[in-house]
Structure 1
Amino acid sequence: MELTVNDGAATGIADILETWASALGGDYRGYLNHAIRVVQVADLLHLRAGGGEAELPSALPEFVVAAAFHDLGIWSDGTWDYLPPSIERAQRWLRDTGDETRIPLVTTMIDDHHKLRAAAGPLSPVELFRKADTVDFTSGIVRFGLSARDYRAVRRAFPSSGFHWKLVRLATAGALRHPLHPAPMVKF
């Protein structure tokens, strides 16, 4: 598959995250690129699962909003238990922009993005988002059938910029602070 970047999705994510640039600090570029990679990988997984080009995830506002906010609580609230604040901030943004009808889907997309089992059917937004984040979180080690070449193309277009090393440091610190519950965001 050929990587086609949806500039509208990338711009939408960047516009949302601009508000959070100071909270993200030196991690801004890494997080922005991660969010964009998740949406780009979702497009590739969608096509691989038989979805059509007319329904690409990157064209859906829910994917843009979920991608922008899904891990933001790490920085906005300084917590490793970041799903609740990430969801709250996404919901507030949707209310503030008059887009309340998208709240249920965006909430589920964020809440289930670290679920270890399938969250829904293969072409559902929730499942595509979960798989796409997993692909990027694992740096393409887990790919759900996506070719290594396709993931590398996404990674070249939107480099990690230290994002994955930041996650390693945060995970280590979280495990040391809470050895009996080191990954509160993971669901079964």
Structure 2
Amino acid sequence: MPQDLITQLPRLDALFDQYSERFGKQQTPYRNHVYRLINLVAAQKTLDPQEWEALEIAAFFHDAGIWLAGTFDYLQPSARLAEHYLEEHQLGHCRTLVRAMILNHHKISRYDKDRNNLVEVFRRADWIDVSLGVIRFGVPMARVRLIKHAFPNAGFHRLLLKLSGQQLLSQPWRPLPMLKR
């Protein structure tokens, strides 16, 4: 497990700069969530350069459809936004992995029997963060606390509850995105 936290990634920071107006005051909560995810993935798996590339892009776009596509039914829109970015930047070699990470990050059951499959590791990282560390998949609580301290919640979970409530009230027949897969 790496001792140092990942606090800056140029591609990721450039994406947040590019879309800062679209995120508005919710950028810090989302940015911190994304950096928590990246650090939680790094706490579970050593990544090769291509996996790092895919992780940065998938982490940024995994929930971005909420803001960039204006919908709480955001899995497919988030995947499409990521695919557009990949195409624009000649990163098509990451397409399958990035798409799988985005579309399966809310999956309740395992994505793959291989615990080191990056899609599975990313899925677990999101569950660790969304559960506030109650579910840890073997990541030590001390590491979770360190990551949460470096990247505070800043209202991210409150925002998710608010958006979930709005969706339930306005469209009770539509399942929440985390319950679709």
147-156 or 124-133, which moves further after superposition? 147-156
Structure 1 contact 58–64 (Cα < 8 Å) conserved: no
The runs of 4+ residues in structure 1 deviating greater than 4 Å are 56-59
Aligned to 1:149: 142
Structure 1 contact 43–56 (Cα < 8 Å) conserved: no
Percent identity, please.
Answer: 32
CA-based RMSD: 1.9
88-97 or 138-147, which moves further after superposition? 138-147
Residue correspondence of structure 1 range 62-101 to structure 2 within 5 A: 62-101=54-93
Give the whole-Å Cα distance in 2 for the aligned partners of 1:33 and 1:14: 11
Compute the TM-score of the two structures, normalised by the length of structure 2. Answer: 0.91
1:104-133, Cα deviation, whole Å (9 max, x unpaired) = 110011000001110012101100000001
Give the whole-Å Cα distance in 2 for the aligned partners of 1:161 and 1:58: 31
Compute the TM-score of the two structures, normalised by the length of structure 1. Answer: 0.88
Deviation at 1:20, TM superposition (A): 1.2
Aligned to 1:109: 101
Structure 1 contact 43–57 (Cα < 8 Å) conserved: no
Q: Which runs of 5 or more structure 1 residues have no equivalent in the other structure?
A: 47-52
What secondary structure is seen at the aligned counterpart in 2 of 1:60? helix
AA paired with 2:153?
Answer: S
1:135-163, Cα deviation, whole Å (9 max, x unpaired) = 11111111112222211100111111111
Q: Which runs of 5 or more structure 2 residues have no equivalent in the other structure?
A: none
Correspondence 1:131 to 2:135: no
Deviation at 1:27, TM superposition (A): 0.5
The 1:3/1:59 distance shift into structure 2, 3 A limit, reads farther
> Number of paired residues?
180
